[in-house]
Amino acid sequence: MKQRQVDKDYLAMIQSHYDQYKADYYQMVEKLKTSEAIYHGEVVPTLYMPRFFPDDHVDCLREIVNMSSAIFRKVIDRYVADGQYRKVFGFSPELEELIMLEPVIPEVFPMARFDFFFEDCDNFKFVELNTDGSSAMVEDKELVRLFKDTMAYRDFGKQYDLKSFDLVGQWVDAIIDIYQEQYLDELPTVAIVDYFQQENLEFIRFQKEFEKAGMPTFIAQPNELEYRDDGYLYYDDQKIDVVYRRLVTADLMKHYDELPQLIEALKHGKTMWVGPIRTQVIHNKVLFAVLHRQEFWPMFSQDEVRFIKKAIPYTIELTEQNRDEQRFKDKDKWILKPIDSYASLGVVAGRMVSRDTWEEELKNSDRGRTIIQSYSDMGHADMINFDDDEVTRYGQVIGVFVYRAQFAGLYTRVGQQAIVSGPFNGRVVASFESKKRTDSD
């Protein structure tokens, strides 16, 4: 079944009792204000319409994850084995040293979020990969919880079987499994590690869930950890068995000289890092440019090369030599992205700016390392917006969470600008797998 048909059925239901559903939406919004769906201190904006993914779409997304993971593993293996290949990525000697450390755990990217523009199983494009500090699992959990308490969920559930994705619970189980594969039935003491300026509700939720599962857990900033002679990191005199790394590699390297104990622990310590710094090979956006270099295609199967051509938007690193190329003048076809930023910082979509601004951005040598990528315009959906009292067309980016290289669930952002993200008035909506009910259900 097509996703659009599910949307049509939902919108028809909303129109049948519009005023009641609208009132119910505003009740949901009030509950949202006291929920854990908070990002950088602000309530996450949402809609009274989740994204419904038919079960056959979910099946094909599992296949996409499997193909992608196989490709990314080959890239990482080649990076480790081939010094000439490593040079293509252009990482600093300090970062390269950390990447080359042999991970303690078998999964090089134990958690990832693959972000796509997704129309259907035949039309999709990667937006980015998040293997460092992947977030928003609690946002989805809270939005699903709130939507399950609505009239719309109750009524639409009569037409469709709706299944949510327990992104939080699955990750708790994954941490336990990763640790116990080496330490049998023991449960670790965990530190959730990142820089933060204010209380992080997602960290607090994971702390509660880890502790509920029997794992003492602390929330720590990198400079609060102490490396001791027994080879373990400590936080406030508590030995840390596992670091759940939410610290993105870019921030680690920014503070590299300030963190000698943490760096020593990475190099020689016994504390298990979930995940290792090796994830940076595929987290960094230069990956997309490397994948489009045809001289490296012989390392992939024919099916994998076809997948790269189909799923990875054409990408090249912007340099002094190519920034004046005529093809980049057609601004609406291109988007600029810093190779290692997050939260859409520094991203410029040509169709969102004037021609003069686009020309300035192309020539701006202060941007740092930047990729230029063909702009993908797909994955739109008609969704009810009660704030404007109309059905509005939104672009959608789906985040496919991948735990231990396996599909775990979905997270969806929608927006009306060329960049679908919170800083550009994007919204987050609950995600459900859907299947049409039959008379026998």
151-185 pLDDT, tens digit each:
999 999 999 999 999 999 999 999 999 999 998 88
Reported as a pLDDT band with limits 50, 70 and 90, residue 309 is very high
Q: Please give the helix or strand (H or E) that residue 383 lies within, else none.
A: strand 380-385
Would you state the pLDDT for residue 421? 66
Query: Residue type for 437, please?
Result: R
Question: Is the pLDDT reported for residue 288 higher than 90?
Answer: yes
What burial class does residue 132 get, using C-beta atoms within 10 Å of its C-beta: 0-12 exposed, 13-18 middle, 19+ buried?
buried
Would you state the pLDDT for residue 42? 86
Would you state the pLDDT for residue 323? 84
Question: Is the pLDDT reported for residue 441 higher than 70?
Answer: no
Would you state the pLDDT for residue 106? 84
**Percent of the chain residues past pLDDT 70, beyond the cut:** 97
Would you state the pLDDT for residue 423? 62
183-197 pLDDT, tens digit each:
888 999 999 999 998
Give the global pTM: 0.94
**Mean pLDDT on 337-342:** 84
Would you state the pLDDT for residue 90? 95
Would you state the pLDDT for residue 440? 66
The position carrying tokens 């008035």 is 425
* Domain ranges for the chain: 3-284+378-436
Structure tokens given for 54? 């038919």
Spatial separation of the C-alpha atoms in residues 275 and 290, rounded to whole Å? 23
**Mean pLDDT on 12-20:** 97
- Beta pairing, strands 190-193 & 242-245: parallel
The position carrying tokens 């919108």 is 11
- Beta pairing, strands 370-374 & 160-163: unpaired
Question: Is the pLDDT reported for residue 59 higher than 80?
Answer: yes
Would you state the pLDDT for residue 3? 87
Q: What is the mean pLDDT of the chain?
A: 93
Identify which of 107-121, 200-214, 313-327, 340-354 has the greatest average pLDDT: 200-214
- List, edge to edge, every strand of the sheet that includes 272-274: 217-220, 190-193, 242-245, 272-274
Spatial separation of the C-alpha atoms in residues 343 and 314, rounded to whole Å? 22
Would you state the pLDDT for residue 244? 97
What burial class does residue 298 get, using C-beta atoms within 10 Å of its C-beta: 0-12 exposed, 13-18 middle, 19+ buried?
exposed
407-436 pLDDT, tens digit each:
999 999 999 876 776 666 789 999 999 999
Q: In sequence order, what DSSP letters do the residues of 274-340 get, joined into one string?
A: ES-GGGHHHHSTHHHHHHT-GGGGGGS-HHHHHHHHHHS--EEE--TTTTT-GGGG-GGGEEEEETT
Question: Is the pLDDT reported for residue 342 higher than 80?
Answer: no
214-251 pLDDT, tens digit each:
999 999 999 999 999 999 999 999 999 999 999 999 99
